[in-house]
């Protein structure tokens, strides 16, 4: 088929139907999903304002959108302007960003839904927070008691070592070893207690952050039924 300016006196019945469809379909129908170049009737308006048709992509319209019709005259889709390497790179980067943003939104919705299922109200959230903090405190208290016990064990050893303060080299090796072992155990417990203090802060911060988000979600849940009733 040769490329030509549309002339209704030379159009076949199918092409006439295609033109009628093109001018009468609503905008939503025209916004077809882009199609790959292939069999069909291509139509576009070139830079000079001429409406061109062809059985293949139109060279004069590589810089603009071309609509593709089936032989029956119905719209098959459209192909966009031919992109330069930089334009395609920018388009693909934008497409990736959109995909990543949609994935982020989907993940956020999933997390919000999971939060609401787990914490349907503030009372449930407060209770779980208190339980989590209490469990950490139980572990911390056990470590504190162990530290106190080790300190008591070390006290008489230190007193015994005082006898050799003038010449510590004369202190029995067993005594020095016991003091060192107790000291190491005490250091371990102190580090463990510090870790529990840090965990308490972390858990408190997590629940505080969750509460901010949950307060918004609970409010949305409350307002949605009210809005539905109003309609």
Domain ranges in the chain are 4-79, 83-118, 120-218
Question: 18-22, 146-150, 154-158: which has the minimum mean pLDDT?
Answer: 18-22
pLDDT value of position 150 = 96
Q: Of 10-14, 167-171, 175-179, where does the model show the most confidence?
A: 175-179
pLDDT value of position 100 = 96
Render 143-172 in DSSP notation, one character per residue.
HHHHHHHHHHHHHHHHHHHHTTSS-GGGS-
pLDDT value of position 113 = 95
pLDDT value of position 30 = 34
In this structure, what are the phi and psi dihedrals at residue 7, rounded to the nearest 5 degrees? -135, 110
pLDDT category at 199 given cuts 50, 70, 90 is very high
- Mean predicted confidence (pLDDT) in 111-132: 96
pLDDT value at 205 more than 70: yes
pLDDT value of position 198 = 97
pLDDT value at 7 more than 60: no
Which residues have CB under 8 Å from 210's CB, separation 6+?
115, 119, 125
pLDDT value of position 29 = 35
* Backbone angle region of 49, left / alpha / beta, with phi > 0 → left and psi within -120 to 50 → alpha: left
pLDDT value at 72 more than 80: yes
User: How many other CB atoms are found less than 10 A from the CB of residue 18?
Assistant: 24
pLDDT greater at residue 83 or residue 9: 83
pLDDT value at 11 more than 70: no
| pTM for this entry | 0.55
pLDDT value at 230 more than 80: no
pLDDT value at 120 more than 50: yes
pLDDT value at 34 more than 90: no
- Under DSSP, the state recorded for 35 is -
| Alpha-carbon separation of residue 97 from 89, 94, 105, 196 (angstroms) | 12, 5, 12, 40
pLDDT value of position 38 = 59
- Percent of the chain predicted with pLDDT > 90: 58
- Mean predicted confidence (pLDDT) in 7-20: 38
| pLDDT, mean over the chain | 83
């Amino acid at each position: 088929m040769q490329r030509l300016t549309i002339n209704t006196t030379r159009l076949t019945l199918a092409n006439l139907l295609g033109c009628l469809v093109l001018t009468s379909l609503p905008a939503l129908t025209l916004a077809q999903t882009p199609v790959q170049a292939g069999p069909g009737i291509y139509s576009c308006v070139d830079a000079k304002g001429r409406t061109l048709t062809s059985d293949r992509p139109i060279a004069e319209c590589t810089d603009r959108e071309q609509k593709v019709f089936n032989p029956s005259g119905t719209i098959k889709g459209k192909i966009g302007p031919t992109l330069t390497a930089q334009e395609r790179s920018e388009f693909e980067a934008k497409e990736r960003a959109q995909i990543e943003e949609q994935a982020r939104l989907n993940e956020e919705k999933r997390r919000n839904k999971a939060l609401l299922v787990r914490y349907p109200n503030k009372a449930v959230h407060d209770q779980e927070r208190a339980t989590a903090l209490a469990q950490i405190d139980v572990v911390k208290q056990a470590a504190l008691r162990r530290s106190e016990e080790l300190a008591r064990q070390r006290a008489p050893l230190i007193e015994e070592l005082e006898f050799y303060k003038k010449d510590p080299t004369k202190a029995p090796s067993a005594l020095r070893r016991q003091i060192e072992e107790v000291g190491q155990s005490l250091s371990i417990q102190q580090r463990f207690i510090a870790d529990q203090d840090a965990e308490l802060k972390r858990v408190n911060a997590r629940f505080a952050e969750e509460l901010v988000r949950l307060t918004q979600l609970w409010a949305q849940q409350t307002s949605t039924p009210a809005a539905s009733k109003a309609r």
